[in-house]
Amino acid sequence: MTLATLADVLQPALRQGYAVGGLVTLGWEDMRAYVAAAEAEAVPVILQAGPSCRAHTPLPVLGKMFRHLAESASVPVVAHLDHGYTLEECREALDSGFTSLMFDGSRKPLAQNIDETAAIAEMTHAAGISCEGEIGFVGYSGGESSAGTDPDEAAQFARETGVDAMAISVGNVHLQQESSAGLDEDRIRAIEAVTAVPLVIHGGSGVPEAQRRSLARGTSICKFNIGTELRMAFGAALRDAVNRDPERFDRVQILSETHDPLVDATRTVLRAFGGGAQ
């Protein structure tokens, strides 16, 4: 069994200069392909259940799916709650077998974010699992605007919450379908100068691949969340499979044809982060 916590996979990444992919799942087909890709690249992987995933499949089911995949995997697999917004939701994920909880208090005042994240971190550590928090606010493409992370606030947040990983806002945006101009590396350097915790980039699909590669190797960024980019790869493969034979109706047969293209796309993403058999 290779079920791991977030700290289990991020601390070696921090020491050795690579990053781990936090891959946003929506169902069995993508999570299965993500683990297959991680095994092919000989790297750990973080399977993430975000709000849209949880709206489709209950947390207790997702926990069993993640753990089932981890039990037979040849690489470490983290079962991660992405963007948990309440104590109750985080506790349900813990009770469902998740090994890492990301509590998102980024829309709240700093003191409240710190207090609530610290409570979640205390709960997770008592259970032997990990906690990720967010300081600053990572916005959404076509939606809410970002608020960049202040380095002094980041230092306070890391110190007072005890999180195992800290998501920061440095020009990254959720749901980005095309690469942006890149992240604010000066702000990243300022944050890592005053913190020792592994840093996380949400909205990693919008970060140019070359910058992902360099940041994974040369900074404290140890986790890139990738969702949109791989959802687009899955959607393209599904569209091809459906259009190949309009008479087909068996969804198991159709969905099976998304596996190899999604594995290939995921391997490309993971390879840029380093840490595997290069």
Sorted by where each starts, the structural domains of the chain and their CATH numbers stand as: 3-271 (3.20.20.70)
- 10-residue mean pLDDT series, the chain (278 residues): 93 96 96 98 97 95 97 97 96 98 94 97 98 86 69 96 95 65 86 96 86 93 94 95 91 94 97 76
pLDDT score recorded for residue 108: 94
- Residue 73 near residue 31 (C-beta atoms within 8 A): no
Question: Residue 82 catalytic?
Answer: yes
Structure tokens at 250: 């068996």
Counted residue by residue, the chain has a size of 278
* Whole-number Å distance between alpha carbons of 120 and 118: 5
* Whole-number Å distance between alpha carbons of 219 and 140: 24
Structure tokens at 195: 């913190």
What stretches of the chain adopt beta strand conformation (E)?
Answer: 3-4, 20-25, 45-49, 77-84, 100-103, 130-135, 165-168, 199-201, 221-226
Residue carrying the six token digits 């998501």: 167
What count of other Cβ atoms lies within 10 Å of the Cβ of residue 118?
19
* Whole-number Å distance between alpha carbons of 219 and 201: 12
* Whole-number Å distance between alpha carbons of 278 and 275: 8
pTM value is: 0.94
* Whole-number Å distance between alpha carbons of 65 and 58: 11
pLDDT score recorded for residue 262: 97
pLDDT score recorded for residue 5: 98
Catalytically annotated residue among 8, 30, 82, 150: 82
pLDDT score recorded for residue 278: 38
Q: Convert 74-94 to b/e letters by CB count within 10 Å (16 or more is b).
A: ebbbbbbbbbbeeeebbbbbb
Closest CA to 169 of 196, 213, 211, 199: 199
